[in-house]
Amino acid sequence: MTSAVPEFDSIVVGTGFSGIHSLWQLKQLGHSVKCFEAGSDIGGVWYWNRYPGARTDIDGRVYSMKFTEKLKDLWDYKERYPTQPEVHAYLTAVLDEFDLRRTIQFSTRVVSAIFSHANNIWTITTANGEVFTSRFFVPATGPMSSAKKIPFPGLAGFKGQWFQSSTWPKEKPDLKGKRIAIIGTGATGVQLVPKLATVAKELIVFQRTPNYVLPGRNFNIDREEADEIRENYNAIWRMSEKTDFGLPMVPTGKTFSEMKDDEAQQALDRTWESGGFHIMFESFDDVFIDAGANTAVSDYLKKKIRVVVEDPEVAEILTPKYPFLTKRPPCGHGYYEAFNRPNVKLVDISKEEIDVYDNGVKTSQTGVHYEVDVIIFALGFDAGIGALSEMEVRAGTGPSLKETWEKDVETYAGVLVPGFPNMFIVCGPHMPFGNMPLVLDLQVNWIGALLQYMKDTSATRVSVSDELAQAYCKELAIIFGMAVFAESSKKLGSWFVGGNIPGRVIRPLFYFSGIPRWRVWLDKEREGNWKGMVFGGGERRIEGKRRAGKRRASGGWVGNSEHKKRRRGTVNKG
């Protein structure tokens, strides 16, 4: 059994937005913190996904952090949708501003995290066999960090080069004049295609399911606009927090049926011209839940594809035959236009499988061979549950998180998992579907408040009650069932229901009721004296605070002065 006093108050895994914010928050609480990062630098997805064309799909104004006032003056993004190098540079600036780098151990993959019920301590083991202990375990491993395994057995014999978008090499590969195949036309593939099209001798795009690609309409941000963003930074965030998906958008307040024909047309034209996700959130208020509203947007977008793509047969293949939002719509920057180039070919693989062979890609049934020099895989991610399922995460001798989630994913607000005490997930399954930096800002704040409460009450253990987690999951499932795309997303294997991973149980992995409603769940707990939490190890009552649970676990609050002295070697270890 490990010592009653852990080495660290908290261990964080991951250094993307959620890891960095968590590190800052835990430092504010006075925690001793250790962080592990598998990459050789910070950034999480913004470190690994350095493929050509990688940039945010969300307005940079809210693709940032706001945990202190200082942050708004730290950085000005140069474009509406910042590029991967810029987001990475931004995260680096945040990290260095708050001197958080020293807590991070790079190039270190965590392989297991085991909680001891005897002393309320997590034991974390890394791939190189190092062992660390902490009171709290904060996996900030991200919802899109575990890449879908490449399923093509023929790849072993491929004589050319191949790359996976999510582990793109640091040394930029020379793709100029090459014959390139790309498999995958989700948000990643859609960003890659226009970039590859301009350098490839020939680009062959293998598409299984077409997407509704929204026009990005990127632009540069000049000095004047950057100043304006900074001046309105807090107001933009406040406004975004009130929207369901955490974006600086103003819903019309009207459903499709409440609008006359010309008003509906104007709403569509206006939001199409604004670009990005505006058409999802500023056209009709019921695009997610009303078949009529959804069809109006779907039909509008289908027509636009036919306007841009010159070859009607190609346009037809690129046109989705399912309701808008069944798959998360990608943001395009010259995507459809790329198919008008003579060097770009679209191959419809909706009706037959493909495999890789020694000289390229072939269709399995009709046996058509496409000879290429390079293959690029942009096949997506094991969303929400993938990263944490790759580690052995276990409480005592109970089932691992992977085993638990194979049957059922149960969380409270996407933060706590019943049966896994002292573990706070940041940006995992069941978090609200929306702008992640904004969601995690609220999530990490809430975790901070709970940890402060535990510190005040000397509690050393917290778990969520089954009732609270069940109530949250029940609402999550009911609301998802109301979406127009509830069934089509399952049928078409969308990642937000886990349907893109063969063998997965298909169920909603994210909360679709909107951020304001999700906040009610968090606020109710925080303001309601943490009634849904089960505490342990509390040793003292503090005025106005609920007495921490009766159970006395061994070990005390790690941030106490005795532990600090122990770490400095000034306390007798005997």
Binding site for ligand NAP (CB under 6 A): 55-57, 144, 151, 183-189, 191, 208-209, 328, 349, 378-381, 493, 495, 500
Least gap, CB of 82 to ligand NAP (angstroms): 10
- As a whole number of angstroms, the distance between CA 46 and CA 409 comes to 27
* Residue entry with tokens 């940041």: 426
Task: Tell me the residue number closest to ligand NAP, measured at CB.
Answer: 186
Measured from the CB atom, is 326 or 457 closer to ligand NAP?
A: 326
Measured from the CB atom, is 77 or 557 closer to ligand NAP?
A: 77
Least gap, CB of 84 to ligand NAP (angstroms): 8
Residue 428, phi then psi, degrees to nearest 5: -115, -155
Amino acid at 529: N
Q: By CB neighbour count within 10 A (0-12 exposed, 13-18 middle, 19+ buried), where does 515 fall? A: buried
The H-assigned helical ranges of 258-378 are 261-274, 278-281, 291-308, 312-318, 335-338
Least gap, CB of 487 to ligand NAP (angstroms): 16
Write the secondary structure of 367-403 as one string of H (helix), E (strand) and C (coil).
Answer: CCEEECCEEEECCCECCCCHHHHHCEEEECCCCEHHH
- As a whole number of angstroms, the distance between CA 217 and CA 75 comes to 22
Least gap, CB of 44 to ligand NAP (angstroms): 12
Pull the structure tokens for residue 234: 């807090």
Measured from the CB atom, is 100 or 147 closer to ligand NAP?
A: 147
Residue 179, phi then psi, degrees to nearest 5: -90, 115
Measured from the CB atom, is 277 or 557 closer to ligand NAP?
A: 277
Strand 331-332, strand 214-215: pairing: parallel
Least gap, CB of 57 to ligand NAP (angstroms): 4
Measured from the CB atom, is 108 or 185 closer to ligand NAP?
A: 185
Pull the structure tokens for residue 68: 């202190």
Least gap, CB of 494 to ligand NAP (angstroms): 8
Least gap, CB of 166 to ligand NAP (angstroms): 7
> In terms of Cα–Cα distance, which of 434, 384, 444 is closest to 410?
384
Least gap, CB of 354 to ligand NAP (angstroms): 6
Measured from the CB atom, is 137 or 281 closer to ligand NAP?
A: 281
Measured from the CB atom, is 215 or 380 closer to ligand NAP?
A: 380
CB 220 within 8 A of CB 79: yes
Least gap, CB of 493 to ligand NAP (angstroms): 5
* Residue entry with tokens 């195949």: 181
Measured from the CB atom, is 108 or 489 closer to ligand NAP?
A: 489
CB 113 within 8 A of CB 90: no
What percent of the residues of the chain are helix, what percent strand, and what percent coil, each to the nearest 5?
Answer: 35, 15, 45
Which residues, 6+ apart, have CB-to-CB distance to 56 below 8 Å? 63, 81, 82, 87
Measured from the CB atom, is 209 or 274 closer to ligand NAP?
A: 209
> In terms of Cα–Cα distance, which of 408, 385, 412 is closest to 518?
412
